[in-house]
Amino acid sequence: MLDPQMRRGLLENCVLAALCRGDSYGYQIVKDLSPKVKISESTLYPILRRLEASGALTVYSAEHNGRLRKIYSVTQSGRKQISEFIADWDEMLEMYEFIKGGIGHE
């Protein structure tokens, strides 16, 4: 079972990555993530707010069908967060390959 703290960090980066593909809004983000990542609408919102507080993304309002939608956009800081995450995991992946290779030899 994935450690909750770790899971939260992973989800944050997933959301940022989704926004790298283009500015998006709540419902669309959930739809984009859903096939690969298990996330509910209620889980997404606190993540969005935390990312906004840390400066990883910005929000603006756009008009759509006569109502206002909140659109989220990734910032430079957010992109930096993703590349740091990827670098950390590349290192982790090497160790994972080593461990997996070790099990084969009995």
Positions that interact with another protein (CB under 8 A): 25-28, 40-43, 45-46, 65, 67, 69-70
The least distance separating another protein from the CB of residue 49, rounded to whole angstroms, comes to 8
CB of 102 to another protein, least distance (A): 27
Tokens encoding 22: 């283009």
Q: How is residue 8 written in tokens?
A: 């939260």
Nearer to another protein, 38 or 67 (CB): 67
Name which of 35 and 104 has its Cβ closer to another protein: 35
What separation in angstroms does the CA of 51 have from each of 6, 21, 58, 94, 103?
15, 17, 9, 29, 39
